[in-house]
Amino acid sequence: MKQNLIFAVILLAILSMTNAISLHKRKTEFSNCGGPALDVTAMTPDPIQAGKNVTFNISGNFSEHPITSDYRQYIVFAQGYEYYSEFSQAICSDSISSDIPKCPVTDYNTTMIIQATANLPDSYLITVYIWNGNYGSDWLSCTHASVGE
């Protein structure tokens, strides 16, 4: 009887731990993929929900390569060739009357709100980068994270 009780307690403890592990939330971790460090300080909600708004807080120090009006902020969701979704926004403006910062920008800190597509796959790569749109080596900075893998 005593052995059955010990076995039952151990079994219940194992089942409780197994159920608790599946509830543990994994935070999306971004890593640098080139250039000066571009940091996604927050992404909400995390994980991203298909069809819902997502807020990215993005920052970086560009004192050695100031950002000009030629550059834009991009966020891309991709899964091989099967899925691709791109969003972009201006970083700064040469105009004083603009509602975005005046160029050049060295201390970059912005919030970008996008709406995730309704057909967002279960696993995908998020890439956040600053680029001037010219094909070639004009990527200023990049960070990325794998989701669902």
pLDDT at 114: 95
pLDDT at 94: 87
Q: pTM for the complete prediction?
A: 0.78
pLDDT at 137: 62
pLDDT at 53: 96
Give the chain's residues under pLDDT 70: 1-25, 134-138
Domains and CATH numbers, the chain: 26-147 (2.60.40.770)
pLDDT at 36: 81
Show Cβ contacts of residue 62 under 8 Å, excluding neighbours closer than 6 positions: 36, 105, 106, 107, 108, 140, 141
* Average pLDDT in the chain: 83
**H helix runs in the chain, sequence order:** 2-23
Q: What angle do CA 49, 55, 59 make, to 5 degrees?
A: 135
